């Protein structure tokens, strides 16, 4: 696949469709749901899972299809947390078997997990930059999952009922 990744229609709707291009009405719209936490996640990853689900569920940003991506994020978070604990305990430099100072392997683990977390975080809108491209609907307006219904009702409402008496 070449070029820029296509933006999901839901995100286009939330951002006000900045390119003013046609929206894909046939895009799959899975039902909002809270996926079950995978049993493979460790304790710190499970805590992160619970924290994120609590934040994302009210925004209707989670579906059962998001389980693996969220699990990947939480797994990376768990490994990052373990590596950070080890770095605090042993430091960023350790002695090699020959006695020379070398970079701690925990530092490269922490850096790699940070990269993974940031990549997935932008998909879910966890970073300030990715959040700035999303706006949540106002209380009276249609929700994230109602946008096709709202467009249909607008079209039906403008079918000649704008007669002005003179």
Q: What is the pLDDT of residues 136-154, one digit of tens each?
A: 555 555 555 665 555 555 5
pLDDT digits (tens, 9 = 90+) for 63-74: 899 999 999 999
- Mode of pairing for the β-strands spanning 101-103 and 93-95: antiparallel
Task: Give domain limits for the chain.
Answer: 29-144
pLDDT value of position 9: 75
pTM of the complete model: 0.69
Residue 94 — very low, low, confident or very high, per pLDDT cuts 50/70/90? very high
| DSSP result, 50-96 | HHHHHHHGGGT--BGGGHHHHHHHHHHHHHHHHHHHHHHHH-SEEE-
């Amino acid at each position: 696949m070449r070029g820029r990744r296509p933006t999901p229609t839901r995100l286009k709707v939330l951002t006000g469709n900045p390119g003013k291009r046609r929206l894909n009405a046939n895009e799959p719209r899975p039902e909002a749901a809270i996926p079950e936490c995978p049993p493979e996640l460790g304790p710190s990853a499970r805590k992160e899972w619970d924290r994120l689900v609590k934040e994302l569920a009210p925004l209707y940003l989670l579906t059962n299809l998001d389980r693996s991506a969220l699990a990947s994020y939480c797994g990376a978070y768990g490994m990052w947390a373990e590596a950070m604990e080890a770095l605090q305990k042993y430091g960023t430099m350790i002695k090699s078997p020959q006695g020379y100072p070398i970079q701690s392997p925990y530092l490269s683990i922490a850096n790699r997990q940070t990269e993974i977390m940031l990549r997935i975080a932008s998909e879910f809108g966890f970073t300030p930059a990715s959040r700035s491209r999303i706006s949540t609907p106002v209380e009276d307006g249609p929700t994230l999952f109602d946008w096709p219904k709202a467009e249909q009702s607008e079209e039906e409402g403008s079918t000649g009922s704008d007669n002005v008496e003179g």
